[in-house]
Amino acid sequence: MHGPLQMFIRSLHPFLKKTSNVCLSTQRRRALSNGSFVRQLFEQTTSTYTYIIADGKSREAFIIDPVITTVARDMQIIKQLGLTLRYAINTHVHADHITGSGRLKTLLPECRSVISKCSGGKADIYIEHGDEIEIGEKNDKNQRLVLECRSTPGHTNGCMTFVWHKGASVFTGDCLLIRGCGRTDFQQGSADKIYTSIYEHIYTLPDHFIVYPGHDYTGQTSSTVAEEKQFNSRLLKSREDFVKFMKELKLSYPLQIDKALPANLVCGLVDP
């Protein structure tokens, strides 16, 4: 791409000059040109992001971190866009809201719930580091939409991050947040572990990959690996200073924690 359009894009993201080819990497353009897409959805009470990732050709889809109170909205989008929801994935056992994955499964019998093996949560499919979850045309491996599962403990022990390589996107749950990270003061949280998870399994992705977090409390929607490496002040600290900082964070407990944790251990299948 040359000319005024490129100059315009670069003027919006000056720091991306370093990584050139940035937002329009060839792979991502190809993935999106067959109609595949990510739809980011917001739940206002707990500032939670839900993602629908759909394969353009087969119209099969994943949903990541659905919330029980917004299942009706998500169902409407799935229906309107003619999608077949194959997997409802939770990045971890949430403490702040009840997952919508159990409710979605009762409404869409072809949908199976997914969570990490070591999360302690109940699901149809248990994943581990290195597993891949796929949707799309069964007869053509190259056309499949694949999410790589990366174990990124620290916020909880069972936290997973999902990488859509062809879409140059990473879904980080409550591990890496925009200019922040998940708290580490309950659910087997560990500041030391989250620091390792981010440096080894997220910051090692290409700079232009889009970071889609599990929450945002400041009105931001997405970031990139390059941006977070440059501007995430928590992670710019030494490991020792980061651990100290997280210990002193002293956030109040999520308002819904007492009902959310037990419900999410059984896929949210209780009345909200």
Ligand X SMILES: N[C@@H](CCC(=O)N[C@@H](CSS)C(=O)NCC(=O)O)C(=O)O
Q: Which residues bind ligand X (CB under 6 A)?
A: 46, 95-96, 155, 174, 180, 182-183, 215, 217, 251, 254-255
Q: Which does 236 bind (CB under 5 to 8 A by kind): ligand X, Fe ion, none?
A: none
Q: How far is CA 217 from CA 102, 160, 174, 184, 200, in A?
A: 26, 21, 12, 17, 25
Instruction: List residues near Fe ion by CB under 5 A.
Output: 174
Contact partner, 180, from ligand X, Fe ion, none, Cβ < 5-8 Å per class:
ligand X
> Residue 166 binds what, of ligand X, Fe ion, none (CB under 5 to 8 Å, by partner type)?
none
Closer to ligand X by Cβ: residue 58 or 157 = 157
What are the backbone dihedrals phi and psi of residue 160, each rounded to the nearest 5 degrees, phi first? Answer: -120, 145
45/106 with CB nearer ligand X: 45
Q: Of ligand X, Fe ion, none, which one does residue 208 interact with (CB within 5 to 8 Å by kind)?
A: none
Q: Is the dihedral of CA 76, 78, 79, 80 positive or negative?
A: positive
Determine the residue type at 2: H
* Entry field: residues in the chain: 272
Of Fe ion, ligand X, none, which one sits near residue 46, judging by CB under 5 to 8 A according to partner kind?
ligand X
Q: Report the nearest approach of Fe ion to the CB of residue 43 (Å).
A: 13
- Smallest gap from Cβ 181 to ligand X, in A, equals 7
Q: In angstroms, give the least distance from the CB of 24 to ligand X.
A: 32
User: How near is the Cβ of 228 to ligand X at its closest, in Å?
Assistant: 14
Q: How many CB atoms within 10 Å of residue 127?
A: 22
**Closer residue to ligand X, CB minimum distance, 100 or 136:** 100
Q: Distance (Å, rounded) from C-alpha 129 to C-alpha 146?
A: 14
Q: Which two tokens stand for residue 133?
A: 């979850």
* Least distance (Å) between residue 12 CB and ligand X: 27
Which residue lies nearer to ligand X by CB, 22 or 95?
A: 95
In angstroms, the CA 91 to CA 103 distance is: 17
Residue 259 Cβ, how far from Fe ion at the closest point, in Å? Answer: 15
Q: Among residues 25 and 119, whose Cβ is nearest to Fe ion?
A: 119
Query: Smallest distance from the beta carbon of 70 to ligand X, in angstroms?
Result: 15
Q: Which is nearer to ligand X, 75 or 257 (by Cβ)? A: 257
Tell me the H-state helices in 181-221.
Answer: 191-197
Q: Of ligand X, Fe ion, none, which one does residue 105 interact with (CB within 5 to 8 Å by kind)?
A: none
The single-letter DSSP state of residue 211 is E
Q: Choosing among Fe ion, ligand X, none, which partner's interface includes residue 56 (Cβ < 5 to 8 Å by kind)?
A: none
Contact 64, 149 (CB under 8 A): no
Label the pairing between strands 125-127 and 160-164.
unpaired
Nearer to ligand X, 136 or 180 (CB): 180
CA dihedral 191, 95, 120, 221 (to 10 degrees): -70
Q: Is residue 64 exposed (0-12), middle (13-18) or buried (19+ Cβ within 10 Å)?
A: buried
